[in-house]
């Protein structure tokens, strides 16, 4: 077997660096064109996306995030948004999303100790079949009291084709307490 560089780089997606030659028996042949690697690639959110995201966030009281004040992009191209929520609202959402309430180390038991609760969204733009886009969005919670914070990361992933569709799901969760639909199978995160 070749040294570390060659052994790993035969699985590389780009052809910028030449790969080390491996013996014929060890080589893996590609059965599809190289452009197919772009099927589910992550993209940087455009100015139009950021403006639409900020406009959608403004519909929530106290909503803050990308596109809210200025149009500066995030370094990794994602969009984020923070929406404050009340304690009883959080409790219903917690049970709607199917998070655990019986485990002693669960953050469910710390809800009554904290005062501020934040509903956080992180949206990633993915290209789909070269032309179409798909938005993958994750939910996380933050509890705050003074300088103390508790973060409940990666609560749930959901997706939609457009940003308004994403916020339709968020509306259903925050106002009607309906759980978001599961992520479709073609998304590989």
Partner 1 sequence: MSKGSKGRDWNKAQPHHVSTGKITTRTYANNNPNKVEWVKSKPPKKK
Of 62 and 98, the one with the shorter C-beta distance to partner 1 is: 98
Smallest separation (angstroms) from partner 1 to the CB of 184:
16
Q: Which of 7, 107, 111, 174 binds partner 1 (CB under 8 A)?
A: 107
Here's the x/- map for partner 1, 108-147, by CB under 8 A: it reads as: x---------------------------------------
Smallest separation (angstroms) from partner 1 to the CB of 165:
22
Q: Is the dihedral of CA 89, 95, 97, 100 positive or negative?
A: positive
Smallest separation (angstroms) from partner 1 to the CB of 147:
22
Of 47 and 103, the one with the shorter C-beta distance to partner 1 is: 103
Tokens 């990794």 -> residue? 76
- Number of residues counted as binding partner 1 (CB under 8 A): 12
Q: Is 149 in the site for partner 1 (CB under 8 A)?
A: no
First-last CA distance in the chain: 31
- Dihedral, CA of residue 102, residue 106, residue 107 and residue 113, to nearest 10: 60
The Cα 127–Cα 125 span in angstroms is 7
Q: Is 174 helix (H, G, I), strand (E, B) or coil?
A: helix
Q: How far is CA 58 from CA 12, 16, 47, in A?
A: 42, 43, 17
Smallest separation (angstroms) from partner 1 to the CB of 92:
16
């Amino acid at each position: 077997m070749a040294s570390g560089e060659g052994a790993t780089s035969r699985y590389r997606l780009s052809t910028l660096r030449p790969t080390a030659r491996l013996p014929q028996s060890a080589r893996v042949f590609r059965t599809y064109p190289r452009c197919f690697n772009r099927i589910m690639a992550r993209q940087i959110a455009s100015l139009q996306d950021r403006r639409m995201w900020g406009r959608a966030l403004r519909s929530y009281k106290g909503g803050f995030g990308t596109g809210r004040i200025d149009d500066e992009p995030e370094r990794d191209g994602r969009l984020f948004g923070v929406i404050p929520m009340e304690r009883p609202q959080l409790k219903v959402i917690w049970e709607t999303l199917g998070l655990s309430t019986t485990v002693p180390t669960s953050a469910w038991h710390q809800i009554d100790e904290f005062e501020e609760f934040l509903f956080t969204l992180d949206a990633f733009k993915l290209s789909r079949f070269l032309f179409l886009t798909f938005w993958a969005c994750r939910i996380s919670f933050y509890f705050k009291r003074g300088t103390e914070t508790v973060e409940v990361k990666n609560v749930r992933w959901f997706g939609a084709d457009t940003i308004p569709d994403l916020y339709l799901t968020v509306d259903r969760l925050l106002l009607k307490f309906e759980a978001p639909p599961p992520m479709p199978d073609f998304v590989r995160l």
